[in-house]
Amino acid sequence: MPKRPLVALMYDFDKTLSPRDMQEYSFIPALNMEASDFWDKCAVLTKKHNMDQILSYMFVMLQEAEKSGMYLNKNEFRNLGKAVQLFDGVETWFKRINDYGESIGLQVEHYILSSGLKEIIESTKIAKEFKKIYASEYCYNEYEEPIWPAMAVNYTSKTQFLFRINKGVLEVTENDELNASMAEENKRISFKNMIYIGDGFTDVPCMKLVKSNGGHSIAVYQNNAKDVANNMILNNRVDFVLPTDYTENSPLQSAVCAILDEIRSDENIQAIHMAHVKAAQDEIDQR
């Protein structure tokens, strides 16, 4: 039986799968700070030191934890993920999409591409659903205490992970193979078989890259806050603008299933084309 074509669904995390930034559920409240005050400190640091905004928030997390007497280690970061809330339907979304893909002859994989903390995402209820979680993370000492950023994922560095998924070079330390030339037919997942789901301007480079290479991008929004998403579709950055409702029969599920149908159809057409190419070559070779 032929191997089922692979499809990659890639998601931002904060405000895409979860209503708020992940630090706002338990970390910032434990500091006795308002979320706005925490993010203001990050913004000041960014401007003062001409600093990447992801590195800024990672530094402020450690700085404020030390000031408040909070002990942070890898296990404590992972405990923070238990408090993270998810949008309606997210917990059952992955099985529904996987089952639909399988029913039409596709194999669906899910990936996270987030500027949030990998350690927190890894302890959420849905962590097991992802083939790979690409997110910011710390380097730890022998006591599993964070001492330095190991990975800072900003809006442009996110795009490297699209190429990793495309080529099947999934480990972040494998760079030579990632940058080496690879024939299109040897790439693990074609861009046209990719779907990117995100909520804001920080997702635009990934959305645009996927869309311009034949894949599909979806901007999601909460409640009636559609301005950012509307601007993205009007500027040809995304294909769809949909609410963050992951429940069964939601507009989001209908759109993703329609894209899967298109991918299946394209795969069928390509298979017929290649069969005709082979038949033509065989006829020429037999003369």
Residue 28 resides in a domain = no
Predicted pLDDT at 69 = 94
Q: What is the pLDDT of residue 1?
A: 37
On whether residue 268 sits in a domain, the answer given is yes
Q: How many domains does the chain have?
A: 1
In a domain, 58, yes or no: no
Residues in the chain where the model's pLDDT stays below 70: 1-2
- Please name the helix (run of DSSP H) or strand (run of DSSP E) that holds residue 8, with its range, or none: strand 6-11
Q: Which of 67, 76, 89, 88 is nearest to 27 (CA)?
A: 76
Which CATH number fits the domain that encloses residue 243? Answer: 3.40.50.1000
The answer to whether residue 99 sits within a structural domain is yes
Query: Distance from CA of residue 82 to its chain's centroid?
Result: 20
| Rounded Cα distance, 270 and 39, in Å | 49
Q: Is 250 part of a structural domain of the chain?
A: yes
Q: What residues make up the domain containing 245?
A: 6-19+86-279
- Is 194 domain-assigned? yes
Tokens (6 digits) for 162 = 């699209």
pTM of the full structure: 0.94
Find the helix packing angle between 90-103 and 251-285, rounded to 10°: 30
Asked if 9 contacts 108 with a C-beta cutoff of 8 angstroms, the reply is: yes
From CA 215, how far away is CA 195, in angstroms rounded? 6
Residue 59 domain flag: no
Residue 201 lies in a domain: yes
